[in-house]
Amino acid sequence: MNVRIISTQPFLDQKPGTSGLRKKVAVFRQPHYLENFVQSIFDSIAAPQGATLALGGDGRYYNRTAIQIILKMAAANGFGRVLVGKGGILSTPAASCVIRKYQTFGGIILSASHNPGGPDGDFGIKFNSGNGGPATETVTEAIFARSKAIGEYRILDAPDVALDEIGETMLGAMRVQVIDAVSDYAGLMESLFDFAAIRNLLAGGFQMKFDAMHAVTGPYAQEIFTNRLGAPAGSVANAVPLEDFGGGHPDPNLTYAHDLVEALYGADAPDFGAASDGDGDRNMILGRRFFVTPSDSLAVIAANATLVPGYRKGVAGIARSMPTSAAADRVAQALNIPCFETPTGWKFFGNLMDAGKVTLCGEESFGTGSDHVREKDGLWAVLFWLNILAARKQSVESIVREHWAKYGRNVYSRHDYEGLPTEAAQGVIQHLKGCFTDLAGVRLGQYTVKFCDDFSYTDPVDGSVSKGQGIRIIFTDGSRIVFRLSGTGTEGATLRVYLEAYEADTSRHHLDAQVALADLIRIALQVSELELRAGRDKPTVIT
């Protein structure tokens, strides 16, 4: 087996976003495109000779092909061992689990998360560091810089490796170990949660429905819910991972997880519903005819953490992304623990967790997690809710409404405008920046503007500064409107508008969020001139 050194030229569009490099499959299939980026990773991370790497992905189209390329490149670049999920399947939180359990130098995760799959869909790749979390901005910037200067890559001339049976294969001088990552992850979950209590809950007539959306969590959900917790047959839907996710959009929200939503709002609705996304790091929680916003989910989990065995010692702190509602802040204040507001992107939580400053983290984009790994974790969130339900013996709705009665309700919604012309979306942001001075102190409807800014974050651990993280309009009563361009799309631009109003009056807690936020929605459209500048009269998705 010979190492080939292939001459290449840079691609100038390989700048990672909030979670790695994401492009259309057709882009990754260009000659040298994937190889250039992988070599740029290897050139930037300074892995010692003989280091161990974790590797796997969410099973989407091109996953297996990419794994074979990366294995041969890892062998040619001096790695001594690669741990690969069976069948090339490895959820993002499970990858973090594997990196941490086996103390690998890091890992490469192949996923475009909640984006559609298939030959015409999206593909993605990112490097996670030895703590199990996404690479820091320093590392991703180094990878990007290298990708703009690369002139060659190294690859082993060798046959493909069998991925469907657990075992070990030699690829040149490198060992390839196909592992049962499902068992590793399920074991971690069993160490955190009261599986006996959840098992009793499910055996007592409690009905749940989990939608794996034909994505990566199917095998994990079957092992945990069906095999270990005894959930009845049919509790896990769409459990077989498919390269195109069955033609669906694996994003667990009220729009794309429509089958689950219909079931939970139907005549014979189960007690509990949940879904996860393409790579298993996001979650949606539903009660019978009741939706739990991700912001409220984080707050409820924090308020009830000591009911769960793995968190009985309490919570050191909470972190949330800036666009996420302040519901968790109120819990942190009551518990007398810190709450950190960070930019969007799980990598910002890693330093806080490694430093022991926070235990729980969450993002409004359906991501929740803790310091058990260094990624958000969809199934972990589902199990946390099941553990709370088993301990409190109440419905999802009653738990949330009691939470609102105690802490007040942060009424919250996100409006996504997807597939906008990039120039139009950026024009909205530039227009808003130009309004900062004029808006300060102005009364808009029932609200008075306290200040406007472009959110900047100074990491309390390493002192790094991240600027330009989202436009904020903060009102004197604590209500907010946030505008932010998403970093997870592959086509056009996605402009997200976040709306939040605090409501202490329990007599108004029953209001639909869109009704309660009607004035803020109107103000957001008026101030941004979004309809005029982007040509859209309504959002693509409302959550």
Write out the catalytic residue numbers.
Answer: 113
Query: In the sheet where 318-321 sits, what is the strand order?
Result: 339-342, 318-321, 360-363, 367-370
Half-sphere exposure of 449 (CA within 13 A, CB side): 20
Measuring CA to CA, which residue among 19, 188, 171, 161 is closest to residue 102? 188
Measuring CA to CA, which residue among 431, 430, 473, 472 is closest to residue 449? 473
In whole angstroms, give the CA distance from residue 400 to residue 203.
24
DSSP H or E stretch at residue 51: none
In whole angstroms, give the CA distance from residue 364 to residue 11.
33
Note whether 124 and 139 are within 8 A (CB).
no
In whole angstroms, give the CA distance from residue 68 to residue 61.
13
Q: Which residues pair with 483 in a beta bridge?
A: 471, 497
Measuring CA to CA, which residue among 91, 9, 103, 133 is closest to residue 378? 91
Note whether 153 and 73 are within 8 A (CB).
yes
DSSP H or E stretch at residue 470: none
In whole angstroms, give the CA distance from residue 237 to residue 217.
11
Which residues are CB-neighbours of 348 under 8 A, at least 6 positions away?
319, 321, 342, 457, 459, 466
